[in-house]
Amino acid sequence: MFKDGFGSKSCNYWLGNELLHQLTKDGLYKVRFDLQARGSGNWYWAEYSTFIVDNEANWYNLNVSGYLGNAGDSMKSHNAMNFTTFDSDNDKASVNCAVTRGGGFWWNHCGFSQVTAYKSGVMKGHGWRKLPETSKSTLTSRMWLLCH
């Protein structure tokens, strides 16, 4: 599921890790997250000048750095992590973070950020721990690939 993508291409859609690898392997893209805080509805953003997803043989290892924004650098702890899914536990936690947090991601210890929660065919459960508000969960999140 996470390899090939899922969701509706007109709405909530994950491109898939294989396509992310193909698009980002040469370092031609940066990534931007737009996040709407659940409590206030305010929008925040986090942009990273480096965003490279390695190939499947290397568990779609993530290279992310160069933060700029007002949402906080929640991806920093996920740098150099392999992608964890329900059936492939590649995180550093004693439990499978994809199972406990509701979706695959470049988990470290099941925290800080998540934009890929997927339960019962619906994208949900997004979080971004560094938002500058008391509510750390997001109502809406968008992940954009941008040309340098």
Distance CA 44, CA 21 (A): 26
Q: What confidence score (pLDDT) does residue 11 get?
A: 74
Q: Can you give the pLDDT at residue 39? A: 75
Please tell me the pTM assigned to this model. 0.85
> Residues 6 or more apart from 133 whose CB is under 8 A from it?
37, 39, 40, 42
Q: Assign 38 a pLDDT band (cuts: 50, 70, 90).
A: confident
Distance CA 9, CA 26 (A): 25
For residue 131, the domain's CATH number is 3.90.215.10
24 φ/ψ angles, rounded to the nearest 5 degrees: -105, -10
Of 112, 90, 115, 88, the C-alpha closest to 102 is: 115
For residue 1, being part of any structural domain is answered with no
Domain membership flag for residue 74? yes
- pLDDT value, residue 13: 77
Among the residue ranges 3-7, 78-82, 88-92, the one predicted with the least confidence is 3-7
The domain total for the chain is 1
- Whether residue 37 lies inside any domain: the answer is yes
Q: Which range of residues forms the domain containing residue 44?
A: 6-147
Confidence at 37, pLDDT banded by 50, 70, 90: confident
- Let me know: does 89 contact 79? Beta carbons within 8 Å: no
What radius of gyration do the chain's Cα atoms show?
A: 14
- Residue 143 included in any domain: yes
Is 10 inside a domain boundary?
yes
How would residue 42 be classed by pLDDT, with cut points 50, 70 and 90? confident
